[in-house]
Every structure is written in structure tokens, then in C-alpha cells.
Amino acid sequence: MDRIIKILFFAFIVRPIVFIVLGLNIQNRQKLPLEGGAVIAANHNSHLDTMVIMSLYPLSKIHKIRPVAAADYFMKNKFISWISINCIGIIPLNRTGSSSLDELFRGCHQALDNGDILILFPEGSRGAPEKMSRFKKGLYYLLKNKKQIPVIPIAMQGLGNSLPKGEALFVPFNCNVNIGDAINVPNSSKEFNNQLKRFFDDQNLSP
């Protein structure tokens, strides 16, 4: 049942918006990870980011793609949390910082063990339109003890103009999507963020 809701939601709402109203120019599509557990690390400018990444996958795989999203935002009322959980399948993350790392990451680790593909935004929040913020360290700590999990960077450009943070007016623009080579998690968060930054620097989206 969960799967059917998701497939209908993506087939009739998300994919027409992403492919017809927006339109994607995709580079290096072959680098998209088709099997989990894997983590996609993308730049974050808009709510559309998650929708675009998920639309890169066929409908048959959509239930395996799990965006990790802030619980305080996406679970704030019944309607939004119903959509977030049932239509999109987010893994809620508690940002208040009161729980231990293990507890914080439990949902993510379970999903990775289950062979799911997580979508994370290392900048933490959407920030100013079409500009990158500094990377946070959460992704490194999430994978610190799971170094076999590959991290695939995806750069998106244009969505910050289509639907930027804090605006309700949606304006269609083509979105350029570039998928990078998988990164293996190194031994320090600094090195990890540098490797990620190098990919986004090449796209002129640097923090």
C-alpha cells in the first residue's frame, strides 16, 4: 500500500512537474547509484531538490530512495508529516541535538542496512538562492562506522530560481543536474568535506 501511494504520487504529480514544467539537463546519468546502501550528497537550494533526485529513478525503485529530512520542519503538522512519510518516504532526523549519535542516526542506519539509498544535503539547510553554504559534519559522522557505503555527489543548478527558500511563487526554469564519481569516506571530516567541495567547486557552486 505504501508503495502504491508513492508510485502514484510520483507518476502523476512529481514527475510531470519535474520533467515537463521544469525540464532537466542531466550529465553523467550512468554514475547514478542504482543499488543501495548508498548515500547521495547534493547541494540544497529548494524543496524541489529532493523531487528532482527522486525523479531520476524509475518508479519501481522509488520506495528505496529515502530523503533524510529535519523532523522539526517536515513533521510539524499532521498534513505535512503524512505527505512526508507516505508520499515521499522521508527519514525524519531530530535536529534538536538532545539525543546521542547512535539514536539520532538509527533510522538512517537501518535504511542503509536494508539496502536503501539515502539523500542528504551536507549544507544542512537551503540557504540563499543559487549559493552554497559551508558543509556540516553530520554526513561524516553518519558514515564514520560504515565506510563501505559510497557517497555520490549530485550538483543541481537552477532550482534556487524556480522555488527558493521562503517564496511561494513557483517559476519554471530548466535544472542542470550533474552526477559525480562515488567518494569513499576518508578518515577525517575535514578531508571528506574537501573531497565533496572539490566536486561542487568544478560546477561553480562552491560554498
Partner 1 sequence: MFNIEQNSLYAMIGVLVILLFSTLIYLYKAAKHKEIDYTELKLRIKSWWWMIGIVFISLSVSLNTAIIFFALLSFLALKEFVSIVSMRHVDRRAIFWIYLSIPLQYYWVSIEWYGMFIIFIPVYLFLFIPIRLVILGETRGFINSVSTLHWAAMLTVFSISHIAYLLALPVQNVLAGSIGPVLFLLFMTQFNDVSQYVFGKLFGKNKIIPKVSPNKTWEGFIGGVVTVTLLSGFVAPFLTPLDMMQGFMAGFIISIFGFFGDVVISSVKRDIKIKDTGTLIPGHGGILDRLDSLLYTAPVFFHFLYYMKY
Q: Which residues of this chain interact with partner 1, rule CB under 8 A?
A: 23, 25-26, 129-130, 158, 161-162, 164, 169, 171-174
Least distance in angstroms from the C-beta of 173 to partner 1? 5
CB atoms within 10 A of CB 113: 11
Least distance in angstroms from the C-beta of 175 to partner 1? 8
State the Cα angle at 116 between 204 and 35, rounded to 5°: 75
Q: Which is nearer to partner 1, 1 or 169 (CB)?
A: 169
Cell numbers linked to 37: 546502501
- Using CA atoms, how far apart are residues 38 and 153, in angstroms rounded to an integer? 11
Least distance in angstroms from the C-beta of 26 to partner 1? 7
Residue indicated by cell numbers 511561494: 168
Q: Which is nearer to partner 1, 14 or 38 (CB)?
A: 14
How big is the chain by its Cα radius of gyration, in Å?
16
Least distance in angstroms from the C-beta of 132 to partner 1? 15
